[in-house]
Chains A and B, each alone.
Chain A
């Protein structure tokens, strides 16, 4: 498994298992959005459709944010043009993975202070939500979902850090898309209350396992560039990375 694959898989896992905090915080929105809207209360299929729209909008926002974050670092990398840039990115990615792993495994919330930054940004966006509520149409549901995507959230911000260090807009977007896809089952089923699945995802041992896996991924991601520094390039060099300027081998 290459480093990029590992990052994507890590993002998917992080989304899939989230943290206890995610369930408490976003589960509340999913349920409240559902409970307050007569348009949604017309049977399980329609309810599910609306939940999918909410989450679809949210994931779209994630992907946009990821693409912006990735683009930022691409621009930065081109700007400073340091040979070790990609190695720095890999190590940073590893650190972020460790941070996510800690959030999953031991419910660590050290990154909640960055949420405060997002809180300021959110204050500008939140009036828009008021205008779209209560949700009466599919586009409004998608809109609310897109705004929901910008809520201050430690896990999302951590993922965005990973998107920053992914090195390109496409990779950053893909990363956040993978993360968003991972969150889909939990958020939609909390809203749709499909008991079994929610319980499975919410099981602490599973989440802890995923967290430990992410910790290992992070350690490995950090170790590779450091090992490479000693042993020189090998392996993936056969693959073309010309279209990805911040690729992982600077030679």
Chain B
């Protein structure tokens, strides 16, 4: 593209008679002037010449098409484009792509410039804030796959997005624009203010001052009416709803300061506040931006979750592997997943065994083993061996999407605590309006100019942003932090209630046990030893995927069972050395010998029988293992001052056994859901705040009766859960952690409210006395808001202790 006639650096034609060259990588390149010569040698000398490489690389080459099919080709199919491409006019289309690794404006610049060089690309806009690229192109000349390949080659992998631009992205974009306008305006106006100030030392000519004032007026006008628009809209909305919100004093202060400045400037007075107006708008917008970022972080979590699912999958059909878009997959398809790839859909492993990283979904940092017959969820990452899975759930039905929806729902609700804070803030706003009026009235007789300045400062300094932000910012950060450790907050109020919990009731013994069954006791009934019975049973169970089979997995058996058949709900039948054997329910086992079923003890811990065609040989007593982390978690909860109880519908003996082993003294068994509910109500009447931990599906009424309900979420059950909080992983640990975080969140809310009140108590008198100039008030107000938001954001950070214990699951975005 750089023929001899144009400058290597700026691309302008080289004027006749100019003969300048710069050595780039040993090659002389023509440049057009001393400036470009200096810049080009500077860039190459400083080792920044990667800029040139990237800038010039993606000129379309004919061999692109001949390069053979790759993962991007599938994006030329209509199914793969349905979400991210819309027709623009007859020949052109518009695509929205999510681009990885965009970390700064320069990346966006490079992508835009390199794509625009492709034939058939009309318009490229890359938003560095959201990482989204909007491309208008002619598919006939430039197929989408070529654009995506070009981006990938630059090091920015594109992903097709869902429905265009999300509301959050649009909001952020608008906020950034406003911020930029306010920032530039503020800098320009401040430059003029400083010039006037410097000029004042030299005895500035009034003409200069008037000129500066006029330009300041000009510049602050878009700042006020464009950048400051949200405050006016908010104030109008409030007034129309006949209430006084936070935006009312802000809008009032802005309009007053602006109008007074114009008036004074026209009068030729020095008292102009254009600098204060632009600063106030800018700082308020910064506060809003930080708040919005905190708010979006959780939404961002949802988006990051969605990004986990790969765009394409390798489908196996009649032994042939083809790469297809995930949208093209159907239920029942077999998909191959190589190490390093992400699982495209929920399904069951049908071949191979591997370990999968599910940390993004469950907060569990250790990769989980998954073998044939075991479920895998979309979005988990295969970390060791290739395997194949049969697709069972796709798209919106996956566990991942459900988690996203639950998060969205929780975020959309407004917790009680935030309502209370709003109420206080609105009362406070009314008080501030009265104080400002009072201050004005007080100073006016003696010094009208000071009266206005002081009233303005009062309005600005006490802008109750800090007060309004104190609660929601902390709750949002706390919620997000919990999701990262594997406890999903599905109802907005759950977090603040969790901080107050006094009693934790475990609704089932199953919540405290692993569900992995162990053999507790062997009772031989005939002339076989217990060990021999175990070996025979193990040989049969080798052929089963049933949870009970795991209990026998560790037994070393010399036997080999043949023709093993599973009888659903009853047991297994098979042959060992010509002997027909059955294992399962006593009645099922006794059926082949014609003898009466063996009687089992009444404890109903779970007994199974083994027998041949003559008799029942042995009984095995099966118990559930206590979760390895249960004891430590319960101990932590006790240290946090919680009363622990088990209220179970199970039989008395296993409940007692579990309670005894975990040191829980208060337990009840054989309870109906109504009994449990009555028990919880009784506790609540006695003043307790009760958290119930259950499985979330079968015990909905019990969970609903609790102050806060925590469900052990797993697979499909997640979608129907009615619980306020869901444990995403297979561990109780996040409960203890969650209580600690909830209490820290509550503490931060108190700190924030305290700080906001203290700040106002200190700043208001200063402003009222006229000591604070309006621009100082603007700085004070914004600092107080930032303190509140930053204090809340530290909730989001993991403490070094627990950061060492496991990796941060939601760190993909921050990593770049």
Contact = CB atoms under 8 A, between A and B. Distances in A.
B106 A34 contact: yes
Given A28-B10, A181-B187, A193-B112, A35 B33 contact: no
Contact of B203 (A1, A134, A197, A243): A243
A118 B36 CA distance: 12
A194 B179 CA distance: 12
A115 B33 contact: yes
Interface string B686-707: 0000000000000000000000
A20 to B, nearest CB: 7
What is the size category of the interface that chain A forms with chain B?
A: 35 or more
Contacts of A29: 39, 42-43
B195 A35 contact: no
Interface stretch (A44-52, A86-94, A159-167, A221-229): A44-52
A240 B205 CA distance: 7
Interface string B81-117: 0000000000000000000000111111110100000
Interface stretch (B47-55, B352-360, B370-378, B381-389): B47-55
B591 interface: no
Interface in B199-246: 199, 202-203, 205-208, 211, 215
Contacts of B10: 21, 23-25, 28
Nearest to B33: A112
Given A8-B211, A31-B110, A35-B51, A24 B187 contact: no
Nearest to A26: B39
Interface of A, secondary structure class, is: helix
The B interface is mostly helix, strand or loop, or mixed, namely helix
Contact of B38 (A42, A126, A196, A239): A126
A115 B36 CA distance: 10
Contacts of A126: 38, 41-42, 45
A109 B37 CA distance: 16
B12 interface: yes
Interface stretch (A68-76, A96-104, A183-191, A202-210): A183-191
Contacts of B816: 41
B35 A153 contact: yes
A36 B105 contact: no
Contact of B105 (A51, A177, A184, A236): A51
Contacts of A244: 205
Given A36-B51, A194-B177, A31 B106 contact: yes
Contacts of B37: 119, 152
B47 A28 contact: no
A84 interface: no
B773 interface: no
Contacts of A232: none
Contact of A31 (B33, B51, B184): B51
B544 interface: no
Given A153-B35, A177-B191, A177-B195, A184 B184 contact: yes
Given A28-B10, A44-B128, A193-B126, A34 B208 contact: no
Interface of A: 1-2, 4-5, 8, 12, 20-21, 23-26, 28-29, 31-36, 40-44, 46-48, 51, 109, 112, 115-116, 118-119, 122, 126, 129-130, 133-134, 151-154, 170, 174, 177, 181, 184-185, 188-197, 236, 239-241, 243-244
Interface of B: 7, 9-12, 15, 18, 32-39, 41-43, 45-48, 50-51, 54, 103-110, 112, 125-126, 128-129, 176-177, 180, 184, 187-188, 191, 195, 198-199, 202-203, 205-208, 211, 215, 816
19 contacts: A5-B211, A24-B7, A28-B51, A35-B50, A35-B109, A35-B110, A42-B103, A47-B128, A48-B105, A112-B32, A126-B38, A129-B42, A134-B46, A151-B35, A151-B38, A151-B39, A184-B184, A193-B108, A193-B128
